Amino acid sequence: MRRPRRPRADVSGSSAAAASFTPESLVVGTRHLQIGSQWVTSLAIAGYPREVHPGWLQPLLTYPGRIDVSLHVEPVDPVTAANRLKRQLAKLESGRRQTAEKGRLVDPHVEAATEDAYDLSARVARGEGKLFRVGLYLTIHAATETALVEETAAIRSLAASLLLDAKPTTYRSLQGWVTTLPMGLDLVGMRRTFDTSALSAGFPFTSPDLPPADPTAPAAPSGVLYGVNLGSQGLVHWDRFALDNHNSVILGRSGSGKSYLVKLELLRSLYRGVEICVIDPEDEYARLAQAVGGTYLHLGADDVRLNPFDLPVHTRPDGRRTAPKDALLRRSLFLHTVIAVLLGGELSAAQRAALDRAITTTYRRVGITADARTWTRPAPMLVDLRDTLAATDDPAAGDLAARLHPFVEGAFKRLFDGPTTTRPEGHLVVFSLRDVPDEVKPIGTLLTLDAVWRRVSNPAIRRPRLVVVDEAWLLMKEQAGAEFLFRMAKASRKQWAGLTVATQDTADVLGSELGKAVVANAATQILLRQAPQAIDEITRTFDLSDGERQFLLTADRGQGLLSSGTQRVAFQSLASPTEHQLATSNPAELAADDGQTDAAVDLGPAPHEWPDDEFDTGDEHLPVDSD
């Protein structure tokens, strides 16, 4: 029977809204419906197992095909429930007595039903439970009639494995479809009596999908797409900035897809307006930074320098400049740490005193004093500090000047031989540390971390930020690097920032107190494929089940386990062709590409195009020095 769609007159309001959901055509068959181009059939559950366990509806809800599951619940008042149980017990007992009088064999089904009826009657009488009339119905969707037959057979087999007897709604196909619509109508009326405990085992519907941060929020969901849910074929869409803290840790063996996943998250976060700083020990983010118009600082290359004497003076889009009130004092204290790291040890009391005087004198010689109006003048350099130390008669100062010689005129002067060449500013800033010589790796790392923290703690930037540390085990070998990760993990939330730590050396991270603190302060934890040698430590730290442990041992590249509190989901990372081209580190693909990646990604307005009110913090403004 075909019911063509009738022409509609002018409708408005609720009538127009209802008409927009009316199908173009509806063909009603014996066991199926054809709704437009879709084929639909409905099943009613006529038989149930004797016992159900928590989450007994999960296999139906996570079926990879398109299926609607509808559960209709009608409470039975206590008086009616007691009378029905009394009559049912009378029938069962009468049957048992007749069987005994006739000398027949005992029917095990009747015996089991009698025991259950007595138990249920006792719980209802004590008020420990109630009775409900429950109807469970399924509607299956397919694109063709052949596919519908195959899907129906698969669903009925799945239901049979759960001891559920699924019957087609023959000659009531239209009623079956309407029953599974979100209208609260049960036109089939195939019910079964459940008690409270049995019914509660099906609520809430358990699912391997991660719940949204606020299911009642009317706004569109926010967050980043991580990939496809391996359990439900849904999408894993997660918003780190909706959690208690915004930190994330990614652990996996070499080749498991850590950097690939980090790059995908980075690209998709840029579309959300998140500002990102990347500490890249292996120089893997250069192509990506070039594609999105980011700032790339290749430390260790010629003419790339970071001046440790630079004051944290920030230029706003309107041209005004701001700085903390104690900027000069904080920079002087930081320079004590810089010199100690450069010289490879703690300074004596006499050396610290001489250095403190020399730092103040060096700033004063270029016109920078405690007056904030002078802080916009060009900062001194390391060679100026060496000259100041050498010009004094203090033996401690002379010793410091001699030890600083290799860093201002010797073999290691490349990093300090001049003012800062590239300001670490922009929507994406990548610090590459691969080519920094091992002899100056500690100080290069320290200067990089200082630049990142100054950017993150800048109050003039009111937008979410991420700090990405790839191959974090290389950074944690340096004391300054390990302390920076610990500080970021603790304090980044207050700066509207999140820390992403990715590493393949799980044992080193979990084997230190600082590493454990970084993991413990990450609300989002992602585990990719693990080596058998590290799986025991991972299992203890993250309290993995046997199934999760086996999954991490056998996961394919890009497959992982996303964990946040009590919520865990297995996923497969998913990328578009353009994203894959920018994120891959496969040598064969990079060689085929031959370095000719010209992909450009539109990230919306540039930083200088953002509205001024996003930067209005009411901080003290520094006038540009007239000199």
Q: Which two tokens stand for residue 545?
A: 């089940």
Q: Which two tokens stand for residue 81?
A: 């429930």
For the chain, percent of residues with pLDDT exceeding 70: 81
Q: Which two tokens stand for residue 126?
A: 């004590």
Q: Greater confidence, 462 or 522?
A: 522
Q: Which two tokens stand for residue 491?
A: 């304090």
- Is the pLDDT assigned to residue 387 strictly greater than 80? yes
Q: Which two tokens stand for residue 611?
A: 């509205």
- Is the pLDDT assigned to residue 116 strictly greater than 60? yes
Pairing between β-strand 192-195 and β-strand 428-432 as defined by DSSP bridges: unpaired
pLDDT value of position 97: 78
Q: State how far the Cα of 202 lies from the Cα of 57, in Å rounded to an integer.
A: 6
Cβ partners under 8 Å of residue 357, min gap 6: 392, 397
- Per DSSP, what are the bridge partners of residue 465? 275, 497
Specify the amino acid at residue 171. Answer: Y
Q: Which helix (H) or strand (E) holds 265?
A: helix 258-271
- Is the pLDDT assigned to residue 599 strictly greater than 50? no
pLDDT per position as a tens digit, 428-465? 999 888 888 877 888 888 888 888 888 887 766 778 88
Q: Greater confidence, 601 or 100?
A: 100
Phi-psi region of 221 (alpha: psi -120 to 50; beta: other; left: phi over 0): beta
What pLDDT band is residue 207 in, cutting at 50, 70 and 90? low
Q: State how far the Cα of 5 lies from the Cα of 399, in Å rounded to an integer.
A: 94
- Provide mean pLDDT across the span 15-43: 81
Per-residue burial over 398-413, b = 16 or more CB atoms within 10 Å of its CB, e = otherwise: ebbbebbeebbeeebb
Q: Which two tokens stand for residue 68?
A: 């609607």
Name the residue among 558, 607, 608 with its Cα closest to residue 579.
558
Strand, helix or coil for residue 128: coil
83-87, 482-486, 615-619: least confident range: 615-619
- Is the pLDDT assigned to residue 216 strictly greater than 80? no
327-331, 417-421, 432-436, 455-459: least confident range: 455-459
Contact between 558 and 226 (Cβ < 8 Å): no
Cβ partners under 8 Å of residue 217, min gap 6: none
Q: What is the CA 228 to chain-centroid distance, rounded?
A: 13
pLDDT value of position 218: 42
35, burial (CB in 10 Å: exposed 0-12, middle 13-18, buried 19+): middle
**Longest C-alpha distance within the chain, in Å?**
121
- Is the pLDDT assigned to residue 602 strictly greater than 80? no
Pairing between β-strand 33-35 and β-strand 25-28 as defined by DSSP bridges: antiparallel
Q: State how far the Cα of 240 lies from the Cα of 222, in Å rounded to an integer.
A: 10
- Provide mean pLDDT across the span 461-488: 77
Phi-psi region of 359 (alpha: psi -120 to 50; beta: other; left: phi over 0): alpha
Average pLDDT for the chain: 79
- In Å, what is the CA distance from 185 to each residue of 72, 77, 417, 424? 8, 20, 79, 62
pLDDT value of position 21: 65
Secondary structure (DSSP) of 504-535:
S-HHHHHTSHHHHHHHHT-SEEEEE---TTTH
Q: Greater confidence, 19 or 232?
A: 232
pLDDT value of position 517: 81
Q: How far apart are the first and last CA of the chain?
A: 90
How many Cβ atoms are within 10 Å of 534's Cβ, its own excluded? 18
3-17, 90-104, 107-121: least confident range: 3-17
- Is the pLDDT assigned to residue 101 strictly greater than 80? no
pLDDT value of position 610: 37
Strand, helix or coil for residue 39: strand
| Cis peptide leading into residue 204 (ω within 30°) | yes
What pLDDT band is residue 627 in, cutting at 50, 70 and 90? very low
pLDDT value of position 440: 81
pLDDT value of position 179: 93
Q: State how far the Cα of 46 lies from the Cα of 191, in Å rounded to an integer.
A: 8
In the numeric block, the tokens 């993150």 are attached to 456
Pairing between β-strand 275-280 and β-strand 428-432 as defined by DSSP bridges: parallel
Length of the chain: 627
- In Å, what is the CA distance from 172 to each residue of 134, 178, 179? 19, 10, 10
Q: Greater confidence, 6 or 405?
A: 405
Q: What is the pTM of this model?
A: 0.61
pLDDT value of position 609: 37
- Is the pLDDT assigned to residue 598 strictly greater than 50? no
577, burial (CB in 10 Å: exposed 0-12, middle 13-18, buried 19+): exposed
Spatial strand order of the sheet with 275-280 comes to: 235-238, 224-229, 567-573, 559-564, 524-528, 248-251, 497-503, 465-470, 275-280, 428-432, 295-298
